[in-house]
Amino acid sequence: MSKMALPRVIVASALLVLLSTCYVHADAEKADDGVTVETVEEDGYQSPETDPKKFYLAEHFDDEAAFKKKWVKSETKKQGVDENIAKYDGKWEIQAPARRLLKNDLGLVLTTEAKHAAISALLDRPFEFIDKPFVVQYEVTMQEGQNCGGAYIKLLSKGINTQKDLKQFHDQTPYTIMFGPDKCGNDNKLHFIFKHQNPKNGTIEEKHAKKPNQRLDDIYKDKEPHLYTLIVFPDNTFNILVDNKEVNSGSLLEDFTPPVNPPEEIDDPNDKKPEDWDEREKIVDPTASKPEDWDEDAPAQIVDPDAVKPSGWLDDEPEMIPDPDAVKPSDWEDEMDGEWEAPLIENPKCSSAPGCGTWSAPLIANPNYKGVWRAPLIPNPNYKGKWSPRRIANPHFFKDEHPFRMTTITAVGFELWSMSPQLLFDNLIITDDPAVALEWARQTWHLKRDRITSQAESLVERGLKFAGENPWVYAVVIIGSFIIVGFVAYMCCGPKTQDPDVDTKKTDAVVEDDPHQSDGEGEETGDKEKLSKADLEGPNENTEENTPLVDTDGAGDGQRKRKPRKE
């Protein structure tokens, strides 16, 4: 085991002992009193009331029969993809959460992965963007985390008026707003996209909100329910909240890409830069010439003419000599392994002398070195500045001061692709009153958050109680803390190279016992303990273990290398 692996093993072992001790005893105590973390006691939860005067849609997914009457699975195919995967065959089911927090709470679960899935429902009444805020709110629980895929919602535009229309819901179905989380790899998004109609030519274009002002990585991996709220106000402002905390806000007119209103002026597409337009600020001086004494061939360094060989320099002594104490291994066969040579060591005579071997004067910078000659730059007398086309009035300019007045919404749907199964959606509402959304959250999502918090506090309390009854736990904690601190100090400040006092030169016997030493590896490679192909594949008749060692590179360093046997 390497010196890098040993501290990790120690730390991991200490942490496992500490954590397993606390959790096992905490679990044992819970078993004694008949309570477990997942036990759902009387929690005060009842499916919230859905007053039609307050909601355009209110769906708690607790009534499976009502769900089946209202929600329609898509029976069509996704546009522009391979025929084999185009069908919307992802499965939707009403299920209890994998982690039961509330006794009678159910949700809409996308149970499949790597399949297109689409489901939608008509609003109880259309939402028209006139003079009241638009509020959409729903919960998402990524029960197995999320590696790649969306959990966003689409608010479908007028024209979707019947359940027959819902059966044809696909990726190109017109929507007014798309909102919610989306992730793939390290790209985490919280979409707010609305479609804006050009009042001049009737074309429709997507407008994307700026990114949230904080990172939201945890929502994709903590496997807990999260609440997403979008509020769009008639004054063209918006707020996005996650778990009732604002993460993004701004103006429909200023904080979207591309902007709602195009620029009043644009570059003239027909204006071309004149051929004689000179944009060079500086040019090479045409009158400059290389000085006669400029030697481009002069070297950058020369031998120091003042250098003198140190007194006592041992010209006839080599820096390395064969180890006089080395002994030819008993199993060495000259016929098979070649002529044996003792490994080289540093010449002890050189340690007391200025140096050994052939002496040569050192190099110094050449005072006459000038390098390649280049003419200097001077201001360009014909410089006209950076060219840019003239500006003209934008023929497509318009000014929409009320982008809030979006296309009427008549339905809502999920149209998704996810690489993680078991996405759970719950408590979806559309209203025109932010206070109604807050109250709905108080009756649903807040109860779940309170239960999660109480379970965490209960676990801590049980752990502390057990520690109070078993003082030896504190000793484990203290010892574990010392190990962790020592490990951190070792990693930060410990030795990075092998101790110079240790003889790192491997003798023939050492190399023979080291199955990880590969051809051409020195001391550093040995420390890393790299696995050879034989380590991974196991022995066979052609492996290194069955091939004799020989010094093949002629270095005479005693590092014996395998020589293939002759068939």
pLDDT bracket for residue 496 (50, 70, 90): low
- pLDDT at position 512 over 70: no
SS3 content of the chain, % helix, strand, coil (to 5): 25, 25, 50
- pLDDT at position 567 over 50: no
- pLDDT at position 40 over 50: no
Map out the domains of the chain with their CATH numbers: 5-38+454-493 (no CATH), 55-261+405-432 (2.60.120.200), 508-562 (no CATH)
Least confident of 4-13, 69-78, 304-313, 429-438: 4-13
CB 164 within 8 A of CB 73: no
Least confident of 40-44, 241-245, 489-493: 40-44
- H or E stretch covering 53: none
Widest Cα–Cα separation across the chain: 106
Least confident of 213-227, 287-301, 330-344, 542-556: 542-556
List of residues 6+ apart from 211 with CB closer than 8 A: 189, 248
**Taking the CB of residue 506, how many other CB atoms lie within 10 A of it?**
21
Q: What mean pLDDT do residues 82-90 have?
A: 83
Q: How far apart are the first and last CA of the chain?
A: 37
pLDDT at 467: 63
Integer Cα distance of 442 and 446 in angstroms? 5
Integer Cα distance of 547 and 526 in angstroms? 20
pLDDT digits (tens, 9 = 90+) for 387-404: 999 999 999 899 999 999
Integer Cα distance of 35 and 32 in angstroms? 8
pLDDT digits (tens, 9 = 90+) for 140-166: 999 988 888 899 999 999 999 999 999
Integer Cα distance of 115 and 417 in angstroms? 6
